[in-house]
Chain A
């Protein structure tokens, strides 16, 4: 609406004489004029300049979580799962949630520790749109197969890979994307659609792209306490009922390990990125370059470590720059969260500088970087063929591929001496909220869980069970979250945990030496939850600026 009044239709020139005769008299009491006085302070919009959206929704490139773990049923394959498009609500509009066709979705792997990718897996998406111009139909009948012609809008993807800096090679084109689940009548057998979207590639790779239940579990409301909120209602998985768009890939260890030798070089670092093409304002052309618009390695950490003022910067950095930004390193060595906890709850913050956190967040746990944790677990420095001089501390999700698959995974992962779990990679069942909180309070350093915060956010498992086979994720929820809330009534209890049984794994003594968890301090459960609250504050911001309406959990079978 740029210069609307003057540039397009207002009569001038020849109209001038008429104008001059016009002589408008403004009658103050005129009903028509007076009616505008209802517009209040700030008055009428006078939008005689172009106004463009400023906070346009862009969830398709909003990267929420990354997982990397040894495949439990295929133990020499590693599985990567990355999620975008948070808070996708089934029947929410109704709507569907495509991947962005103008973005690149990457999973990056660094095996030699220089903080640069040695393997890049890159997904791009295309629309197959048979809706025509005048309709907003998603489907015009039941969708019983992935290529069902009743599905009027669908997507396919191309996967390209680059290893060791060599040019990209196309691995597959036009692979089907599992559709958004829009309801039981439209998609009576979603499992079939899921199965058809699981692709086996040459070389034994498996891939999946499409919708899934959001596997992350936590109670976002715990952090209300920071703002004086009511703590009486924690213990619900706030993400229950929502879907995400998932990309999952399973590849042999040998394809990602340094020198294709996972026995000598078992550790990899993983992070996901989303990119959009850059534009040169000089002439409006695409420059050929791509801008990184989001980056994700370890869960929460990026946000907990990086204060909100640096979050935007961090998202645009590549990992090899991390250690060159003093503010980033300082936030690791002098973390904010334990100080907040100490100030509010008198749980004494561990002494700084926190070099244990440097190990967890920036180097991987190793004895080779002069860190305080006396263990070698998941730093590339422990790869036999790594040149330590080229090692570059950086934030990524590090995984030791040779740690055996735990028969009974412990949700607290490494801190509960289940070494296959977070922060050694990340499994779907790892309770990263509680783990992260424990780590920040020094549990990795002492080898003792901090009892005072043992309850964390009181959400210990996802609402929907994970499966035993690739891509492991629960099917997308098929019932609208708000619909469900209404149907099941308010005040439904905590989710029925589908978590695996609690620990029986024998510690292998790589982390800590003590298995007698001594309560450091006794504080009330509510306070403990409040501590969790602080922890989430910054994380929550990234995930979605808006917390969804609180709702009872979905335990409905789809």
Chain B
């Protein structure tokens, strides 16, 4: 967080003062040390932090040769990787600045910078812009694998499933490797081909060298197991990932979720407390709040939601767009009208299954179940094996009085993952029980 100082802050003086306070806070909280360990005998080997090496080498080089636009662009990409790994948003403006420096030196035909701009747009959920950047990059170099990675992510999130699959196929053909396998795995997962998705993620793991990449693959394998309700397999993946990268916030979240789903609520709560101190992202904070609420700690849940709301407002106030989080926050805050508005706005921007699911549910919360049904069905017809999609569909059908299909979909939700949510899974069981008794 200390790196924050020196980057242009376009926020008010008050906010800056608070920022400094946060820097101090961050200093007190401390991040896990990431310096390489010193060799010892016997030789204990920690998977290398290639990303950190890359950042350091780039910084060193750019201090010496500030006109090297290639390295500016790759530094920008490295910052985005850091942002992803740490969930630390202060890397976004750093990435933006690095890309700006690259473009300042070479404004035209700068494929690397276009790709980095696209990756940044994806990170900020501006998927339409990301798509444009990726296509512009591909126009200058049709064999640039990273450009297809950016395009894949953008098309996926925009809901252009066919275009996303075509882009990831091109990525696979150009450069089979972790980046391609991971994206291919997600594509397959969204089509319900979960075994193949796991196979490809294992292949990605084989190709992983950097410890953060190992952590990523383990986390996804854990999430795949978790979404199928296999808590033990998920926990084993998260543990293996943490052995490679103990400071991974994603893996810590994974273990917290396993604890929550296993009913070890206190352990889960303390894990979330630690996690959200390190990575106060809206999504983690909402999860934490949900867990607090499920434990009957409403007031604590509200505190976390306040943080989540602030984080989200900051994001949107700076041009970020994320209707999913906005809808989730509104819903969690008891504002169904706002939740619907957020979901509708997001649907206007993109047609991903997650958005269809969210919009369907938001309509349901506004008692517009007939409209809701179409969106919930749409989410469920993508082929993805999602307990939450099935649950939402079942509840909407129930509200519409279609008891047979409601029973079918609520049963399916619990079959996919009996632990899918600490609150929704019991709600599904209750609804099924009510259905059965009447």
Closest chain A CB from B24 CB (angstroms)? 9
CB-contacts of B118-133 with A (<8 A): 119, 122-125
Bound Cα distance from A94 to B89, whole angstroms: 30
Q: Are A38 and B84 in contact (CB under 8 A)?
A: no
Q: Are B66 and A11 in contact (CB under 8 A)?
A: no
User: How many inter-chain contacts with C-beta < 8 Å in the A-B complex?
Assistant: 457
Closest to A13 in B: B427
Q: Are A55 and B4 in contact (CB under 8 A)?
A: no
Interface residues of chain B: helix, strand, loop or mixed (majority): helix
Q: A54-B81, A58-B209, A91-B39 in contact; A6/B203 too (CB < 8 A)?
A: no
Q: Are B357 and A7 in contact (CB under 8 A)?
A: yes
Proximity string of chain B (37-52) to chain A, C-beta cutoff 8 Å, 1 when within and 0 when not: 1110111111111110
Bound Cα distance from A310 to B301, whole angstroms: 54
Closest to B73 in A: A545
Bound Cα distance from A284 to B202, whole angstroms: 13
Which residues of the partner chain B approach A57 to less than 8 Å between Cβ atoms?
Answer: 50-51, 54, 209-210, 213
Identify which of A41, A47, A102, A136 contacts B45 (C-beta below 8 A): A136
Closest to B286 in A: A5
Closest chain B CB from A27 CB (angstroms)? 7
Say yes or no: is B98 at the interface (Cβ < 8 Å to chain A): no
Say yes or no: is A508 at the interface (Cβ < 8 Å to chain B): no
Q: A16-B365, A547-B57 in contact; A136/B186 too (CB < 8 A)?
A: no
Which residues of the partner chain B approach A30 to less than 8 Å between Cβ atoms?
Answer: 306, 310
Q: A58-B178, A100-B207, A134-B243 in contact; A37/B310 too (CB < 8 A)?
A: yes
Bound Cα distance from A47 to B386, whole angstroms: 19
Q: Are A284 and B423 in contact (CB under 8 A)?
A: no
Q: Are B181 and A279 in contact (CB under 8 A)?
A: yes
Q: Are A276 and B39 in contact (CB under 8 A)?
A: no
Closest chain A CB from B361 CB (angstroms)? 7
Proximity string of chain B (139-156) to chain A, C-beta cutoff 8 Å, 1 when within and 0 when not: 011111110011001001
Identify which of A9, A18, A227, A312 contacts B67 (C-beta below 8 A): A227
Bound Cα distance from A279 to B196, whole angstroms: 11
Which residues of the partner chain B approach A406 to less than 8 Å between Cβ atoms?
Answer: none
Bound Cα distance from A53 to B53, whole angstroms: 16
Say yes or no: is B412 at the interface (Cβ < 8 Å to chain A): no
Identify which of B19, B45, B352, B426 contacts A94 (C-beta below 8 A): B45
Binds A, one of B313-321, B368-376, B401-409: B313-321
Q: Are A14 and B427 in contact (CB under 8 A)?
A: yes
Q: A4-B283, A10-B290, A19-B333 in contact; A312/B143 too (CB < 8 A)?
A: yes
Closest to A35 in B: B22
Q: Are B84 and A51 in contact (CB under 8 A)?
A: yes
How many residues of B are counted as interface, with CB atoms below 8 angstroms from the partner's CB atoms? 181
Bound Cα distance from A283 to B193, whole angstroms: 8
Bound Cα distance from A100 to B207, whole angstroms: 7
Which residues of the partner chain A approach B357 to less than 8 Å between Cβ atoms?
Answer: 3, 6-7
How many residues of A are counted as interface, with CB atoms below 8 angstroms from the partner's CB atoms? 110
Say yes or no: is A404 at the interface (Cβ < 8 Å to chain B): no
Closest chain A CB from B329 CB (angstroms)? 8
Closest chain A CB from B199 CB (angstroms)? 7
Identify which of B10, B207, B314, B336 contacts A58 (C-beta below 8 A): B207
Q: Are B84 and A53 in contact (CB under 8 A)?
A: yes
Closest to B199 in A: A284
Say yes or no: is A344 at the interface (Cβ < 8 Å to chain B): no
Say yes or no: is A20 at the interface (Cβ < 8 Å to chain B): yes
Bound Cα distance from A23 to B36, whole angstroms: 47
Say yes or no: is B255 at the interface (Cβ < 8 Å to chain A): no
Say yes or no: is A183 at the interface (Cβ < 8 Å to chain B): yes
Closest to B157 in A: A49
Q: A59-B209, A279-B172 in contact; A11/B311 too (CB < 8 A)?
A: no
Q: A50-B186, A278-B176, A291-B174 in contact; A44/B422 too (CB < 8 A)?
A: no
Q: A52-B179, A185-B41, A309-B140 in contact; A1/B250 too (CB < 8 A)?
A: yes
Bound Cα distance from A47 to B314, whole angstroms: 14
Bound Cα distance from A10 to B423, whole angstroms: 7
Q: Are A8 and B388 in contact (CB under 8 A)?
A: yes
Which residues of the partner chain B approach A313 to less than 8 Å between Cβ atoms?
Answer: 141-143
Identify which of B44, B146, B200 contacts A54 (C-beta below 8 A): B146
Say yes or no: is A48 at the interface (Cβ < 8 Å to chain B): yes
Q: Are A38 and B290 in contact (CB under 8 A)?
A: no
Q: A56-B177, A281-B187, A291-B172 in contact; A7/B310 too (CB < 8 A)?
A: no
Closest to A315 in B: B143
Identify which of B240, B293, B317 contacts A15 (C-beta below 8 A): B293
Q: A45-B83, A53-B84 in contact; A35/B21 too (CB < 8 A)?
A: yes
Identify which of A35, A46, A309 contacts B322 (C-beta below 8 A): A46
Q: Are B77 and A279 in contact (CB under 8 A)?
A: no
**Which of A10, A33, A138, A276 has the most chain B CB atoms inside 10 A of its CB?**
A10
Which residues of the partner chain B approach A7 to less than 8 Å between Cβ atoms?
Answer: 354, 357, 386, 388-389
Proximity string of chain A (508-534) to chain B, C-beta cutoff 8 Å, 1 when within and 0 when not: 000000000000000000000000000
Closest chain A CB from B320 CB (angstroms)? 6
Proximity string of chain A (300-341) to chain B, C-beta cutoff 8 Å, 1 when within and 0 when not: 000000001110110110000000000000000000000000
Q: Are A6 and B93 in contact (CB under 8 A)?
A: no
Which residues of the partner chain A approach B90 to less than 8 Å between Cβ atoms?
Answer: 39-40, 42
Q: Are B283 and A47 in contact (CB under 8 A)?
A: yes
Say yes or no: is B103 at the interface (Cβ < 8 Å to chain A): no
Q: Are A55 and B328 in contact (CB under 8 A)?
A: no
Bound Cα distance from A280 to B203, whole angstroms: 14
Bound Cα distance from A86 to B427, whole angstroms: 56
Which residues of the partner chain B approach A19 to less than 8 Å between Cβ atoms?
Answer: 331-334
Bound Cα distance from A42 to B100, whole angstroms: 15
Identify which of B18, B42, B66, B140 contacts A38 (C-beta below 8 A): B18
23 intermolecular pairs with C-beta atoms under 8 Å apart = A3-B358, A10-B423, A24-B332, A26-B310, A34-B18, A38-B15, A43-B318, A45-B88, A49-B352, A54-B119, A92-B48, A94-B39, A136-B47, A137-B42, A140-B42, A186-B42, A186-B43, A283-B196, A293-B177, A308-B111, A312-B141, A316-B174, A549-B56
Query: Which 4 A-B pairs give the minimum distances between C-beta atoms?
Result: A38-B22, A284-B196, A38-B19, A11-B423
